[in-house]
């Protein structure tokens, strides 16, 4: 196994979480990738013989990156790296990276040593973490070509074109001579290795990890909550996921957790699955075989879930810090699309990345914890592989989760409140919202104005604004948008299969000139996504305006001009309403910054 994308190093974070028992995996890594992405040091903490097949990492240690030597090379080379590996629970094996036979010996030796350690652990004679083998293949960059071991090995080391330049051709042949194998020897080696039938060795192309395709999970009966009851949508997801795990014991589970499971209301999930540790602390939700991979490193924990492609996965993070996962997530959806284009649609079960403790409910930690960047970036990706969801209550959150697990090859960012929110939707409404991405909650006859909420706190503000509008006899329809990407103009045929047709959208949302949108995220990226609903001068988009601090939810809404009163102010402009009929003098003064904002609370 090897992987390469825009970011180096994710293969080093993922290989240990990939094989199921009985499956063998050799992962080829680079020393440059080790330098770029930290977290692979923890692999020995995560591996267990009872739920994983043997893994053998092989680092090609050539000592160079593009402009200079690797930091490892500068720090002392492979001798330094061997000491580093020993300190982090590995058993290093250093070989000549220019000798094919050395690779074979090292892989067989590493697997045998790991199998012996696993047997010792089962017999009670060894404790986890085991000494995970790690092969270091020493070589030079560009071995067999001119410029080997220098910066030139990264580019075109020949001074001319060997097809037309005699000197360049001579240099090429002199370097490549080190790689030459006589044809007779090469054919004999191929025949020796091509013995899959006799050895019952699976061909690499047929390895389960090449085309993972677990059965779709059994979905439990949907949960039900009474209308009006205040339930944390994250707690609803917790209940739904715990039930899903119980209904599918044959699927290995990985939960990626950078820090606080309980703060994000995933108590049932944590109590059932437990943090994976090597020395469980009594009275704490920890276990040797825990399925929750916890480390203060967002890239490492999201990689645990991305790697478990034959199982069931969940990732949960504070919204502000989940953005660190973006690079790893994006590599996966790009590859998923490439697989589909090649006629091999991805078969792994779709994965939710939950962004909670989010922008509007994280006042105690100031603006560092108030950042909707991840959902904004994800809205720019293709909706067929990368939906962005904003459930507004417990039923919509649980329904969205189940709909996602009934699909394959998608990574969804789900922005979910952890604080209790009133149950606004019935089970049937939540299902329709998951299917269409949009739902009309209040339909007026011949509406003068349409309101659109994206996010749970935003819906609460829109409902308050609707009540004022109705009191003033302004016919107004209210919509909730859970999946904005479903409403966009499709950018290619694959995305067209995941978004609503313009005919369907016009049926769900009749033409009305005056529209106000209130978003969880910054309004500018949302306006681009919702272009089909934008009526131009008579549409207003409100949302996060980069204002924050040690503020409660109302304080955040007010600072960002995103309260119900600001919605009415925008509505008066686009629908040409008399603001005096909607807001009192004190409320208008608060909007203008000349009165007490508390009158709007």
pLDDT digits (tens, 9 = 90+) for 277-311: 999 999 999 999 999 999 999 999 999 999 999 99
Rounded to a whole number of angstroms, the distance between the first and last alpha carbons of the chain is: 56
Question: Predicted confidence band at 111 (pLDDT cuts at 50, 70, 90)?
Answer: very high
> Partners of 413 in the beta sheet?
353, 388
Q: What is the pLDDT of residue 199?
A: 83
Does the pLDDT at position 155 exceed 80? no
Q: What is the pLDDT of residue 339?
A: 94
Does the pLDDT at position 22 exceed 70? yes
Secondary structure of 243-277 as H, E, C letters: HHHHHCCCCCEEEEECCCCCCCCCHHHHHHHCEEC
Question: Predicted confidence band at 1 (pLDDT cuts at 50, 70, 90)?
Answer: low
Lowest mean pLDDT among 34-48, 417-431, 434-448, 570-584: 34-48
Q: Work out the average pLDDT over 113-133.
A: 95
Does the pLDDT at position 67 exceed 70? no
Q: What is the pLDDT of residue 69?
A: 65
Question: Predicted confidence band at 390 (pLDDT cuts at 50, 70, 90)?
Answer: very high
Q: Are 1 and 30 in contact (CB under 8 A)?
A: no
Does the pLDDT at position 3 exceed 70? no
Does the pLDDT at position 353 exceed 60? yes
Question: Predicted confidence band at 96 (pLDDT cuts at 50, 70, 90)?
Answer: very high
Q: What is the pLDDT of residue 21?
A: 96
Q: What is the DSSP letter of 593?
A: T
Transcribe 485-548 into DSSP letters.
Answer: GGGSPPSSHHHHTTS--HHHHHHHS---S-EEEEESS-HHHHHHHTGGG--GGGEEEE---S--
Does the pLDDT at position 65 exceed 70? no
Pick the closest to residue 401 from 339, 475, 316 (CA basis): 316
Pick the closest to residue 510 from 477, 482, 487 (CA basis): 477
Q: What is the pLDDT of residue 213?
A: 96
Q: Work out the average pLDDT over 17-23.
A: 96
Question: Predicted confidence band at 376 (pLDDT cuts at 50, 70, 90)?
Answer: very high
Q: What is the DSSP letter of 342?
A: T
Question: Predicted confidence band at 30 (pLDDT cuts at 50, 70, 90)?
Answer: confident
Across the chain, mean pLDDT equals 93
pLDDT one-digit tens code per residue, 407-463: 999 999 999 999 999 999 999 999 999 999 999 999 999 999 999 999 999 999 999
- The Cα–Cα gap between 56 and 62 comes to 19
Does the pLDDT at position 141 exceed 60? yes
pLDDT one-digit tens code per residue, 517-559: 999 999 999 999 999 999 999 999 999 999 988 999 999 999 9
Question: Predicted confidence band at 113 (pLDDT cuts at 50, 70, 90)?
Answer: very high
Regarding pTM above 0.85, the answer is yes
Does the pLDDT at position 33 exceed 70? yes
Query: What is residue 138's three-state secondary structure?
Result: strand
Question: Predicted confidence band at 561 (pLDDT cuts at 50, 70, 90)?
Answer: very high
Q: Work out the average pLDDT over 229-247.
A: 98
């Amino acid at each position: 196994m090897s992987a390469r994308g825009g970011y180096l190093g994710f293969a080093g974070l993922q290989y240990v979480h990939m094989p199921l028992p009985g499956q063998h995996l050799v992962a080829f890594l680079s020393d440059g990738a080790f330098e770029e992405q930290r977290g692979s040091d923890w692999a020995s903490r995560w591996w267990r013989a009872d739920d994983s097949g043997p893994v053998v990492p092989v680092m090609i240690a050539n000592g160079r990156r593009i402009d200079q030597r690797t930091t490892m090379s500068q720090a002392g080379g492979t001798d330094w790296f061997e000491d580093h590996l020993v300190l982090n629970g590995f058993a290093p094996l250093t070989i000549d990276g220019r000798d094919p036979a050395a690779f074979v010996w090292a892989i067989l030796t590493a697997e045998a040593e790991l199998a012996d350690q696993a047997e010792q652990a089962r017999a009670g004679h060894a404790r986890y973490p085991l000494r995970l083998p790690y092969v270091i293949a020493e070589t030079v960059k560009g071995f067999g070509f001119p410029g080997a071991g220098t910066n030139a090995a990264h580019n075109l080391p020949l001074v001319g074109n060997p097809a037309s330049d005699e000197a360049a051709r001579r240099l090429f042949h002199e370097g490549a001579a080190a790689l030459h194998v006589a044809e007779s020897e090469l054919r004999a080696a191929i025949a020796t290795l091509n013995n899959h039938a006799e050895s019952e060795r699976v061909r690499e192309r047929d390895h389960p990890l090449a085309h993972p395709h677990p059965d779709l999970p059994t979905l439990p009966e949907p949960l039900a909550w009474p209308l009006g009851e205040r339930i944390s949508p994250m707690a609803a997801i917790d209940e739904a996921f715990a039930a899903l795990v119980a209904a599918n014991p044959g699927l290995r589970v990985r939960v990626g957790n950078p820090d606080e499971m309980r703060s994000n209301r995933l108590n049932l999930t944590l109590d059932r699955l437990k943090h994976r540790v090597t020395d469980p602390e009594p009275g704490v939700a920890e276990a040797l075989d825990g399925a929750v991979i916890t480390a203060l490193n967002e890239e490492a924990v999201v990689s645990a879930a991305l790697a478990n492609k034959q199982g069931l996965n969940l990732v949960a993070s504070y919204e502000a810090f989940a953005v660190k996962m973006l690079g790893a997530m994006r590599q996966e959806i790009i590859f998923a699309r490439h697989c589909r284009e090649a006629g091999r649609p991805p078969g792994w079960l779709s994965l939710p990345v939950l962004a909670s403790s989010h922008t509007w409910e994280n006042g105690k930690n100031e603006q560092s914890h108030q950042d909707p960047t991840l959902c904004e970036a994800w809205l720019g990706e293709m909706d067929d592989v990368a939906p962005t969801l904003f459930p507004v209550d417990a039923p919509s959150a649980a329904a969205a989760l189940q709909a996602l697990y009934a699909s394959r090859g998608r990574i969804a960012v789900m922005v979910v409140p952890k604080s209790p929110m009133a149950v606004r939707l019935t089970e049937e409404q939540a299902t329709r919202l998951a299917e269409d991405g949009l739902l009309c909650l209040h339909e007026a006859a011949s509406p003068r104005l349409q309101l659109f909420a994206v996010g749970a706190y935003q819906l609460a503000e829109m409902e308050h604004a609707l009540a004022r509008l109705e009191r003033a006899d302004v016919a107004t329809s209210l919509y909730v948008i859970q999946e904005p990407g479903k409403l966009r103009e499709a950018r290619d045929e694959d995305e067209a299969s995941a978004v609503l047709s313009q005919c369907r959208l016009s049926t769900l949302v009749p033409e009305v000139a005056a529209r106000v949108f209130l978003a969880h995220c910054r309004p500018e990226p949302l306006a681009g996504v919702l272009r089909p609903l934008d009526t131009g001068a008579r549409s207003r988009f409100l949302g996060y305006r980069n204002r924050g601090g040690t503020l409660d939810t109302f304080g955040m809404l007010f600072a960002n001009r995103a309260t119900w009163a600001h919605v009415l102010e925008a509505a008066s402009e686009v629908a040409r309403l008399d603001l005096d009929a909607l807001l009192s003098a004190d409320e208008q003064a608060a909007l203008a910054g000349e009165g007490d904002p508390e009158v709007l609370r």
